[in-house]
Each structure stands twice: as structure tokens, then as C-alpha cells.
Amino acid sequence: MLTWRNMHVTVRTVSGLLNSHRVIRSRECMCAHGRIRTFTTGRILHNKFFKDLENQFNAARDKVADALPGSQWSPFEMNPNLPPERADIVIIGGGVIGWSIAYWLKKKERVRDGVKVIVVEKDPTYSQASTVLSAGGIRQQFSLTENIQLSLASADFMRNINEHLGVLNQEPVDLQFNHSGYLFVANESVAHIMEENYSTQRFAGAKVSLLSPVQLKEKFPWINTEDVALASYGLENEGWFDPWTLLNAFRQKAISMGVIQSIGEVTGFNCTLNRMDTVDGETVDVKRIKHVNVRMPNSREYQPVECAIVVNAAGAFSAKLVDMMGIGTGPKDTLSGMALPVEPRKRFIYVFNCPDGPGLDCPFLVDYSGIYFRREGLGGNYITGTSPEEDAEPDVSNLDVDHEFFQEKIWPSLAHRVPAFESLKVTSAWAGYYDYNTFDQNAILGIHPLAQNMFFATGFSGHGLQQSPAAGRAMAELILDGSYQTLDLKGLGFQRIMAKEPLLEKNIV
Amino acid sequence: MWNCLIVLVERAMFVLYGSRFAFRVNMAAPLVPLQRFCKLASLHVCGRRRLWSSSVATPPSLYKRLLLALTQRFYDVEILLNWRSQLKSQALQKKNAYYHYTQEHYGDNVASAYFILNMHGSFRYAGQSEWFRSDSSGKFSWDFVNQKDSLLEEVDLGHTVINQMGLGNLVGNPLRTLSLRGCHEVDDWALARLHVFQDTLEELDISCCPHITIGGLAALRNLKGLHRLNVSSLPRLGSPGLVIIMLEEMLPLCQVTAKGYDLSLTQLGGN
């Protein structure tokens, strides 16, 4: 029995062999340049003949392309994920600020491939990035003129976003912008600050209106106006949008314009040092970055990228880069002791559901007690949060949410302001970092006096996303033109930190 | 000799089409012309494109597919098409520009009236019953120039190319009725600019505008004096029934008209 079966098999195999032999020969006939082909050595079944032929033809074509000059082939195996060895500008940080700067740099270069820009991002999943964890609001109700101008310019950018970031033949960019406006509510003690801010905002061109408690109750019957003295309501260019869409739009457009994205972590810098004496007789080390060491994820392999300019857009982790350079380690109150006053601060956002809550006209309400909330979608969901007290800052080593914080600090104020929120159910929560400027809670844009070619675009303290398009343009102007062209943001430079004159923003949420 | 020809053809194919797709080669007929490759190539690419853009309701026409295929392969075509779309949008912005000259020399009202007539819209002054409009060839009578002090009350800009910039020309008029029916350029940002009419506007028609979404309808929160609102046939509203209810809640005095939606309750899978 066994021998019968074996014989049967042998006959089949013999006939198979004969067939394949014929097939091989016929293939060699047809493909006359077959000297370089036929990688498979095994038996080929007759019915897979055409599929294999196609694969082998592709392989042949690839080999021909590699052999010709101008191809990427090299006899040494290189890691294709390494950033290039040289670049003009290295942007450290792939959040919305980093990609906005990259886009504007490419937009402003006057010749094709005029500047070689690399954006280095250590976490492609953006799990800890402030951009994607933000509430996504945009407002012009600030007390500082520079902040108002930045937000207005960013709103103008988003108004025509498809003109700026649209790619031909792709879907138009849909930011899902909700034009619901911000509503700031003040009691007697802070009402005068609100009035001052109102005149600053109107002067800078923001469309804001002041409401008395009676008008407020008429417009929003669900608010408790018991202790309200004044309210400030945004009429236009205010609301919230989807940060992930904006980030991706910037990224896709920048990559289509030639920006190189590199996934890796910056582990160090190679700098040259210039020991100089200041007017006051202090000896300082002025550093110029020559190479940025970018380390690949999960590996010890790194690439020193030679560059002319480095942009620090690392958000909450910007201070680490400054420490790597060795700046800010001198004695306090001296130039060499001036570190970057930006540190990560953890903030929580809670999502809750309240079926009887405010409807479509619910603005982004910010109470004087510090709590804020806004509508999310149409199903009675809202998101809320607040800034904790200075001395009760949560631990920043992880992004775990403290649910007790909601019960103790947020819910009472929420229920006081909107009585319908007395009965609600928290459905989810998350935490994110603010790149908190401990000096005056405003952006730091410009060059550090001791780091000659490192530009800073950090310290936005919770309003980076809404100012990102305009801040990116300002940085690009600073880098390529040498000075600000459209908005004068010299007041947001390092000068104020050196002179110890804080530019306080009174409307921080 | 055959070797050389086939290598040349193969190299040409690589140069022209790159490594973007695989194509079948019928080696039994080595003299097969390039057009054959083209047809196969475009079909392959079209098939792929249809898979990608599942949001497109109808498949694009042959002309559009051809343009797309050429754009993906040639920089020149891409740059030309970019220029074309830029010129189109620049022409649109020019049409919607602020009528600064007219406003300086004749005043706000005449400037607004001139703008509306240029956009092929129509309007009616307060206290008069006659509508000013342009005829089908774009000509209109210039009587409005003499009425510098008359205020616009009703404006019909339906089926025009007005966008959010163009609405800047209408600011300053106490409008009671505004129709933006079927305007393809009106989007959420245009609705956000309507807050300037919050004291006087009573009737608003924004039906059949393809770019309006729920975010823009939230901007109507300022128009508390609105009596009639028409939001029929807005294709980008996800859940129209819910949106209508929320609009009615937001604008208590308003009567919301919303036709052209399928408001039947759909069965979800499962229980």
C-alpha cells in the first residue's frame, strides 16, 4: 500500500519536475535579459507562473534602478530612520508650535529648498504632548496686547486655513471650529480688571462685549448671577476646535513642502564656547550649538546633526534642553544663572454628562474662581477643569488623574455657577502638561543671550495651541528676516527675564 | 536586439511612471505600445483612488481622474493646477473685497447697495416696497446712487459667491431679512460675522449652503431677535433632528424651518 502511494507520488513529482523544467526554460526564453533573474530555486507550479513573473519583474526593475547612478543603494547598511547629517534648522519638538514654525519657515523661504528644516519629535504617538491633550479653545480675551494680537492673527489664519494648509486633490481641512465664544464672569473685586482688559481688547481689535448681570441672565437663563458683577462675552473669532486636526494639517503641509520629520530624542549638544566679559565684569560662557545629538528610539544609536540654528519648541520639556547645554547653572541673579523659567505643570480635564445642562449656546465659561467648562458635542457632555493653587500643584512625573480634585475643587464651584450641574456624572478624565512659565505665564519667544543660535518658542502656559499659527510666523520672521515683520513681539523676549520685569497676564485659566 | 528594446521600454516605463504600481507585461507581444500601459496604469490608479476616497459620493469623472494621475506624476501639472486654484480663489476674494472707494465717496449705504447689485443679489430699502435687482445679463439701474440716506432692510444674496469677507460690505445696515440660500462660499466663519446684525435681524435663510456645520450654527446664538430661520438641506449636519431641537431651544422666539432631512428614527444594530 505504502509503496503504491509512494510510486504515485513519485510519478506526480517527476511530471511536476518535467513541467517546471519546461517552464523555467520557457521563461528564460521570454525574458531575454534573464541573466540577472530567476531568484527562486525551488519548483514553481504552473498556475503561479504569472504572479511570480510579476514579482520578479519588479525585483529586476528595482535592481536596475539601484545600479544606475542617483539611486540610494550603498554597500554599507545604514539605518534609514536616522536624521540627515546636516541641516540648516533643527526644530526640537513636534507639537503644534514646532510644526507651525516648520511650515512658516518653508513658506517664507524664497527659493525652492532654500532652508533644510528637520523636526525632531521623540514620541510619534503624542501620548504626553500638550497639543493633543488640550481643551482646544481660542480666545482674544487677554490682558496683554501681544497675546490678543497673537490670538487674533491665529484666528485669521484658521479662517482661511484651506488657503494656507490645503493640499491639492486632498480633502479640505476641517477644524470643527465651534464659534461659541468665551464668557468670563467676574465678581466685584475683579470687575475693574475686567473693564481695563475690555478696553485693551477693543483697542487691539477683538470683538468683545461687556454684560451686566441682568443682561447675562437674559442671554443665559441657566447661569446663577447671584455674585456676578460683570461678564465679558466674545462675539467673534472665539470658540474651540480640534487640536489634532490642526497639528496634522501643519505637519502634512510642511512635509509636502520638504520638511524632514525625524523620530528621536535629543540627548545632547556639541557647542563651541566663547568666554566673554559683560559690562558688569561678569565672565560668561556664550555657547554656539554645532551639533544636535539625536538618539533613535529604543536604541543607543545616535546621529549628530550639524546645524546652524536650533529652535526649542519642546513645550513642557524645554528646560531639559537648556540643562543639556549647561546654561543657567551659575549663581543666581547673574546672567549665567538665568535658566529657562519653564516647567511642566499637570492639569486635569474631566468629561461629565448632564442631560439638563445648557444647550447649543453654551460658551466656554470661565469663572472668577478659576473653573472653566465648555460643551462637548450635542449629547449633553461637557468638559471642565481648573488651575490648582500654587502650593497644591500635582506631581508631574506621570499623567494620572486625581478624581478627588474634581469632587473637592471643581464640582462645588460648577454647581454654584450653573445649578443644573448639581446632578452630573463624570464619564472620563485625562491630564496634560502646561509648559508653565513660572516667571510671568506668558510665551518666551527669542534668543537666550548665552545660547547664540537657539531660538525659544515655549512657555505658553496653556495658550500655546491658540497662538500657534501666529507664533510660528513670528519665529520664522525672526529666523529668516532677523526681526519681527507683522506683529511686534519684542516684549515677549528674554529681555524681560534678564531685567526681571514680568509681563503678567491677568486672565490665565 | 530584442534585449535592448525591452530594456529601453522598461527603463522608459520606470522613468515615466516610477515604482508606483505594478503592471502586467504580456511578453508574447513585445511591441505592445505605451498607450496600453497608460490605460492599465490609469485603471489601476483609479481603482486605488476610489478605495481611498470613500467620502466622495460620486466617483470623479474621467477628466478629473486623468488630471489626478498626471498631477501625481509630473511636477509641472501639479504647479499649473495649483496656480489655477490660486487664481480662482484670488478672483473670488477680489469679488468680495471691501468697496473702499465707493464707501469713501458715496457713503456706506450706497457702497452696500452697489456691492449687492454687483454680486447679482437684490435688496429693498426701508420704507419702500420696490426691489432693486440686476437682470440676467448683470445690468442694473443706477437709481440707488441718489438714495444715500436710505437704509437697507431686506437683502437677498441667494445663489451668489458671497463669502465671509463680502459680509463686511453689509455691516452698518439695519437688516431685517437676509437670505444666503444656496451660497457655496458661505461657511461657519461667515455665520460668525452675522453678530453685527443682532439687534435688527428677524429673518435668516441659510438653506442649501454646503459648507455650514454645527459649529457655525452655534454662532447664531447672538441673534436673539430672530423670528424665522431656514436651515433646510444642509448636507454637513450630522444629526439634523437633534440640531433643530437645540436651535429651537437656543432661539426661543424663532420659528425654525428645516426641510430636506430624513428625520425618521434609524434602527441601530444589536438589540
- The verdict on A323 touching B (C-beta cutoff 8 Å) is no
The per-residue pLDDT for range A148-182, each reduced to its tens digit, is 999 999 999 999 999 999 988 888 999 999 999 99
Is pLDDT of B56 > 60? no
Residue A21: pLDDT band with limits 50, 70, 90: very low
B262 HSE (CA, 13 A, CB side): 4
Using a pLDDT cut of 70, give the percent of chain A over it: 90
0.85 surpassed by complex ipTM:
no
Q: A37: closest CA among A76, A63, A67? A: A63
Q: Do B215 and A171 touch (CB under 8 A)?
A: no
- What's residue A1's pLDDT? 45
Q: For testing the chain A interface, which of B86, B186, B221 should be mutated: the one with the most A CBs within 10 Å?
A: B221
CA distance B133 to B127: 17
Any idea of the CA torsion for B74, B78, B81, B85, to the nearest 10 degrees?
Answer: 170
The radius of gyration computed from the CA coordinates of chain A, to the nearest angstrom, equals: 30
Residue B263: pLDDT band with limits 50, 70, 90: confident
- The verdict on A72 touching B (C-beta cutoff 8 Å) is no
Local structure of residue A83 (DSSP, 8 states): P
Q: Do A54 and B22 touch (CB under 8 A)?
A: yes
Q: Do B195 and A32 touch (CB under 8 A)?
A: no
Q: B206: closest CA among B167, B169, B152, B263? A: B167
Residue B42: pLDDT band with limits 50, 70, 90: very low
Q: Pick from B27, B188, B222: which is nearest to A31 by CB?
A: B27
- What's residue A479's pLDDT? 96
Read off the pLDDT of each residue in B14-30 and give the average, rounded to a whole number. Answer: 41
Is pLDDT of B258 > 80? yes
Q: Do A64 and B14 touch (CB under 8 A)?
A: yes
List, as one string, the DSSP characters of A291-348.
EEEEEPTTSS-EEEEE-SEEEE--GGGHHHHHHHHTTT-S-TTSGGG----EEEEEEE
The per-residue pLDDT for range A378-429, each reduced to its tens digit, is 999 999 999 888 888 999 999 999 999 999 999 999 999 999 999 999 999 9
How near does any CA of chain B get to the CA of A53, in Å? Answer: 9
Is pLDDT of B21 > 80? no
- What's residue A44's pLDDT? 57
CA distance B139 to B21: 54
The answer for A35, left when phi > 0, alpha when psi is -120 to 50, beta otherwise, is alpha
Residue B11: pLDDT band with limits 50, 70, 90: low
- What's residue A24's pLDDT? 45
In B218-253, which positions are buried (b, 16+ CB within 10 angstroms) versus exposed (e)?
bbbbbbbebeebbbbbbeebeebeebbebbbebbee
CA distance A383 to A357: 12
Q: For testing the chain B interface, which of A360, A364, A365, A378 should be mutated: the one with the most B CBs within 10 Å?
A: A360
Average predicted confidence (pLDDT) for chain A: 89
CA distance A256 to A261: 11
The per-residue pLDDT for range A254-281, each reduced to its tens digit, is 999 999 999 999 999 999 999 999 888 8
Helix (H, G, I), strand (E, B) or coil at A13: helix
Residue B208 CA: distances (Å) to CA of B188, B201, B251 = 14, 20, 21
Contacts of A176 in chain B (CB under 8 A): 213, 215
A106 HSE (CA, 13 A, CB side): 25
Is pLDDT of A197 > 90? yes
Is pLDDT of A358 > 70? yes
For residues B241 and B213, is the Cβ–Cβ distance under 8 A? Answer: no
The per-residue pLDDT for range B208-232, each reduced to its tens digit, is 999 999 999 999 999 988 999 999 9
Mean pLDDT lowest among A358-372, B34-48, B113-127: B34-48
- What's residue A266's pLDDT? 96
CB atoms within 10 A of CB A352: 23
- What's residue B36's pLDDT? 39
The per-residue pLDDT for range A324-343, each reduced to its tens digit, is 999 988 888 888 888 999 99
> Torsions phi, psi of B87, nearest 5?
-65, -40
Residue A35: pLDDT band with limits 50, 70, 90: low
Residue A43: pLDDT band with limits 50, 70, 90: low
CB atoms within 10 A of CB A399: 15
Residue identified by cell 525574458 is: A31
Beta strands in B143-244 (DSSP E): 152-156, 177-179, 203-205, 228-230
- What's residue B33's pLDDT? 38
Is pLDDT of A38 > 70? no
Instruction: Give the CA angle between residues A325, A106, A156 to the nearest 5°.
Output: 105
Nearest CA in chain B to A161: B189
Is pLDDT of B28 > 50? no
Q: Helices (DSSP H) in A173-240: which residue ranges?
A: 188-204, 213-219
Residues 6+ apart with CB under 8 A from B168: B98, B193
The per-residue pLDDT for range B138-186, each reduced to its tens digit, is 788 888 888 888 889 999 999 999 999 999 999 888 999 999 999 999 9
Is pLDDT of B137 > 70? yes
CB atoms within 10 A of CB A329: 12
Is pLDDT of A70 > 90? no
Q: Pick from A33, A159, A178: which is nearest to B164 by CB?
A: A159
- What's residue A275's pLDDT? 93
List, as one string, the DSSP characters of A26-81.
HHHHH-TTGGG-----S---GGGHHHHHHHHHHHHHHHHHHHSTT----SS---TT
In terms of residues, how long is chain A?
509
